[in-house]
């Protein structure tokens, strides 16, 4: 504390180092303690005892899940006035999901972004979505050169358009960094989040090289008649404030055999989805017959998300 350069620290005057450190310790200690317990004070207002005591997803028995889903359905009714149904479809054995996008067809119109927004009960005020469409200069695959703010008729001359969402990496760095194991990869390749276990530290958001994770800065606002009632516990149920979320390949749809919402919404037919383990699947044919690439291959994340161009 000898040189008092920093004006942001409390100025203690001419005191011995020992006294000074005591004072600092006491002040910081009290402050830190207050800060540390402040979420607990908020929990009283926002979180029920059942929710606070809810265990990790993987420790929930079937009857625990039923209780949790019933509670969450009641909560959606209470807070959003929406009659929703929460389910928990499990991975289909023998299925590994792969997504492929034909960038020769994608024209950047953004219908997928909107479809994701509606399907997944995103906050209306922020137009939140799991998908960003990057307008890229032709000649590079460098994401940093893309921009999402374009607002002109598409496709523009000299540009191509690259939708980016969770790549469902087979080596997901976001999973590695989670300090509480609130996010993990399931057998069909989908990386999921237990929104009730997430502590909101946002390490995963920082670890993701694709900017695919989103943080709920506030409680999502959704009008009752716009809430999608078909909800998965690990997918599109309305997320609490302060947790991280991400694209889950619409698992509440795809694990029931349906196509993802963003694919159905695409007016250009650029999106292809399927089971890579099925030798007759569309995605398998693309993998075998198109020159596919993945984003940031050099990072070794091994995405399940592929891009290709018509040659």
Partner 1 sequence: MTVRLAFAPSAFNAESGSATIGRGSNIARVSDASPAEFFPVVINRPEGPPRLRLDAPDALGRPVTVACSTCHTIREPNIENRSTIDLDEFHQGLSVLHGELACLACHNPGDYDTLRLADGRAIEFSNVMTLCAQCHGPQWTDYQRGAHGGMSGHWDLTRGGRVRNNCIDCHDPHAPAFPMMQPTFKPRDRFLAPAHSREGGGHG
The residue ranges that bind partner 1 (CB under 8 A) are 92-95, 100, 102, 105, 107-111, 113-114, 117, 123, 125-129, 132-133, 148-155, 202, 205, 214-215, 217, 254, 256-259, 263-264, 266-269, 272-275, 277-282, 285-286, 289-290, 310
The 8-class DSSP code of residue 10 comes to P
Nearer to partner 1, 288 or 298 (CB): 288
Q: Distance between CA atoms of 91 and 241, rounded to whole angstroms?
A: 27
Q: Distance between CA atoms of 202 and 200, rounded to whole angstroms?
A: 5
Nearer to partner 1, 48 or 256 (CB): 256
Q: C-beta of 186: minimal distance to partner 1 in Å?
A: 16
Sheet of strand 292-293, all strands in order from the earlier edge strand to the far edge: 271-275, 97-102, 305-308, 292-293
CB 2: neighbour CB atoms within 10 A? 6
Nearer to partner 1, 10 or 279 (CB): 279
Q: C-beta of 211: minimal distance to partner 1 in Å?
A: 8
Nearer to partner 1, 57 or 203 (CB): 203
Phi and psi dihedrals of 11, rounded to 5?
-85, 125
Q: C-beta of 269: minimal distance to partner 1 in Å?
A: 4
Nearer to partner 1, 12 or 148 (CB): 148
Nearer to partner 1, 191 or 272 (CB): 272
Q: C-beta of 209: minimal distance to partner 1 in Å?
A: 15
Nearer to partner 1, 52 or 309 (CB): 309
Q: Distance between CA atoms of 242 and 202, rounded to whole angstroms?
A: 9
Two structure tokens written together for 154: 């598409």
Q: C-beta of 24: minimal distance to partner 1 in Å?
A: 29
Q: Distance between CA atoms of 250 and 248, rounded to whole angstroms?
A: 5
Q: C-beta of 263: minimal distance to partner 1 in Å?
A: 8
User: 61-95 burial, b for 16+ CB within 10 Å, e for fewer?
Assistant: eeeeeeebbeebbebbeeebebebebebbebeeeb
Q: Distance between CA atoms of 103 and 268, rounded to whole angstroms?
A: 10
Q: Distance between CA atoms of 68 and 269, rounded to whole angstroms?
A: 38
Could you tell me how far CA 140 lies from the centroid of its own chain? 26
Q: Distance between CA atoms of 4 and 294, rounded to whole angstroms?
A: 51
Q: C-beta of 255: minimal distance to partner 1 in Å?
A: 10
DSSP H/E element including 183:
strand 183-185
Nearer to partner 1, 68 or 96 (CB): 96
Q: C-beta of 155: minimal distance to partner 1 in Å?
A: 7
Question: Do the strands 244-245 and 230-232 form a parallel or antiparallel pair, or are they unpaired?
Answer: unpaired
């Amino acid at each position: 504390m000898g040189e008092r350069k920093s004006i942001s620290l409390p100025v203690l005057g001419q005191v011995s180092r020992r006294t000074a450190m005591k004072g600092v310790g006491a002040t910081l200690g009290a402050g830190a303690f207050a800060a540390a317990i402040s979420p607990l004070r908020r929990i009283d207002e926002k979180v029920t005892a059942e929710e606070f005591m809810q265990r990790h997803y993987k420790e929930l028995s079937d009857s625990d899940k039923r209780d949790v889903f019933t509670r969450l359905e009641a909560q959606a009714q209470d807070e959003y006035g929406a009659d929703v149904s929460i389910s928990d479809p499990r991975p289909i054995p023998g299925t590994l999901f792969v997504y492929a996008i034909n960038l020769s067809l994608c024209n950047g119109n953004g219908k997928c972004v909107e479809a994701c927004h509606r399907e997944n009960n995103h906050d209306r005020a922020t137009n939140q979505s799991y998908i960003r469409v990057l307008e890229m200069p032709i000649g590079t695959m460098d994401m940093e050169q893309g921009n999402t703010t374009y607002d002109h008729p598409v496709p523009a001359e000299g540009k191509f358009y690259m939708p980016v969402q969770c790549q469902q990496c087979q080596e997901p760095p976001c999973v590695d960094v989670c300090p509480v194991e609130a996010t993990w990869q399931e057998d069909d390749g989908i990386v999921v989040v237990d929104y009730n276990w997430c502590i909101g530290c946002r390490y995963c958001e920082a670890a993701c090289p694709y900017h695919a994770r989103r943080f709920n800065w506030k409680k999502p606002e959704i009008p009752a008649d716009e809430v999608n009632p078909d909800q998965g516990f690990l997918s599109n149920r309305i997320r609490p404030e302060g947790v991280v979320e991400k694209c889950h390949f619409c698992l509440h749809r795809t694990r029931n055999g349906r196509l993802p919402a963003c694919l159905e919404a695409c007016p250009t037919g650029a999106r292809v989805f399927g089971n890579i383990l099925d030798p007759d699947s569309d995605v398998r044919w693309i993998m075998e017959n198109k020159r596919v690439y993945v984003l940031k291959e050099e990072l070794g994340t091994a995405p399940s998300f592929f891009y290709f161009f018509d040659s």
